[in-house]
């Protein structure tokens, strides 16, 4: 399967593959025509950059102007893993990859299938999430098939993604570095390495994947709640930390979510997809605690509800 995927990538085709975060829709990053197919398949805006996946740290030199010392420290501790770093891009990099910016995002995934694919391919693979733009990210191979169908030549089934939400994105073009998108990594752990970490995304920050106000959204409207403030409607789904009480209609589709943020992240997108398939009027989701360990989850939920 890996050998077939490598041949397809080298011939300019799209291949979906698993990472520890979500499934990616991959193309040869050095082939602008292949990268353009990603945008067409996802209906992705041309100014929205894509993240490059690499196998080895030495590949950075082909894509970035320089690697700051802080980036080396983060790479040492968090690569391979769910951390994307934003660098200054070399002028030779296609604007399709950068979204017409002077920055570029790269990461080194830890999933064994992704690692082997990148090793055998030998180059960088451009790979945003393998779904239609702005919709729920795929964490299973079947999600990719349902979303993209024959728009992708090959889907490598590597099982469920272990983490279930997209990578943490850190901008290392500034000192101190800036958190542009929370993800699976512990922010306190990042701070221990970086010394200072600015948690911000202002108008001057680079555009990055998953940074739009509305993102990760199902077709069904999402409403967030902290208490049981929804009406007892019949045709709704509920994602809650609580058990379903007796006064809730039997027709309400109730999903009890894990109290652990790691387990919650793993289940989040698959649960949203399952509820979205039931032709409900609304999906009500209980907000997690306003704590730093839940920051990435709250980020995804707020964007899903903004739709």
Q: What global pTM score does this model have?
A: 0.92
At residue 253, the pLDDT reads 94
Strand order in the sheet with 222-225: 222-225, 282-286, 236-240, 253-256
245 is written with which tokens? 């009480």
Q: At residue 12, does pLDDT exceed 90?
A: yes
Who wins on pLDDT, 23 or 44? Answer: 23
Provide the percentage of residues in the chain whose pLDDT is more than 70. 92
At residue 174, the pLDDT reads 86
At residue 245, the pLDDT reads 85
At residue 156, the pLDDT reads 98
Torsion sign over Cα 81, 83, 86, 87: negative
Average the pLDDT over 137-152 and give the result. Answer: 96
Who wins on pLDDT, 218 or 97? Answer: 97
Q: How confident is the model at residue 72 (pLDDT cuts 50, 70, 90)?
A: very high
Q: At residue 213, does pLDDT exceed 80?
A: no
Average the pLDDT over 191-212 and give the result. Answer: 70
**Residues 285-305 pLDDT 10s:** 999 999 999 999 999 999 999
Task: Calculate ∠ Cα 125-189-114, nearest 5°.
Answer: 20
At residue 159, the pLDDT reads 96
**Residues 239-273 pLDDT 10s:** 999 998 888 888 899 999 999 999 999 999 999 99
Looking up tokens 């929370």, which residue turns up? 182
At residue 204, the pLDDT reads 62
Compute CA distances 149 → 11, 114, 125, 131, 239, whole Å.
20, 21, 20, 10, 28
Q: What is the mean pLDDT of the chain?
A: 92
């Amino acid at each position: 399967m890996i050998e077939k995927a490598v041949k397809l990538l080298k011939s300019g085709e799209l291949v979906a593959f698993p990472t520890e975060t979500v499934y990616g829709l991959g193309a040869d990053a050095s082939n602008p025509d292949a990268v353009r197919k990603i945008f067409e398949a996802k209906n992705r805006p041309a100014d929205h950059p894509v993240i490059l996946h690499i196998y080895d740290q030495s590949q950075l030199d082909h894509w970035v102007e320089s690697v700051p010392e802080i980036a080396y420290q983060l790479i040492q501790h968090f690569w391979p893993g769910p951390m994307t770093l934003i660098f200054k891009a070399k002028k030779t990099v296609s604007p399709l990859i950068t979204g017409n910016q002077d920055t570029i995002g790269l990461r080194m995934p830890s999933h064994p299938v992704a690692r082997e694919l990148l090793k055998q391919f030998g180059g960088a693979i451009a790979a945003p999430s393998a779904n239609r733009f702005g919709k729920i990210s795929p964490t299973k191979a079947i999600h990719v098939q349902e979303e993209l169908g024959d728009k992708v030549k090959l889907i490598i089934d590597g099982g469920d993604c272990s983490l279930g939400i997209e990578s943490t994105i850190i901008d290392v073009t500034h000192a101190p570095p800036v958190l542009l998108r929370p993800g699976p990594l512990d922010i306190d752990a990042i701070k221990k390495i970086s010394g200072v970490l600015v948690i911000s995304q202002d108008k001057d920050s680079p555009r990055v994947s998953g940074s739009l106000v509305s993102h990760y959204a199902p077709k069904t409207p999402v409403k967030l709640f902290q208490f049981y403030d929804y009406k007892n409607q019949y045709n709704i789904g509920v994602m809650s930390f609580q058990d379903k009480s007796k006064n809730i209609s039997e027709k309400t589709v109730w999903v009890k979510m894990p109290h652990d943020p790691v387990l919650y992240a793993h289940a989040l997108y698959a649960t949203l997809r399952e509820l979205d398939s039931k032709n409900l009027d609304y999906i009500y989701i209980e907000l997690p605690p306003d704590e730093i360990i839940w920051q990435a989850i709250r980020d995804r939920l707020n964007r899903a509800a903004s739709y």
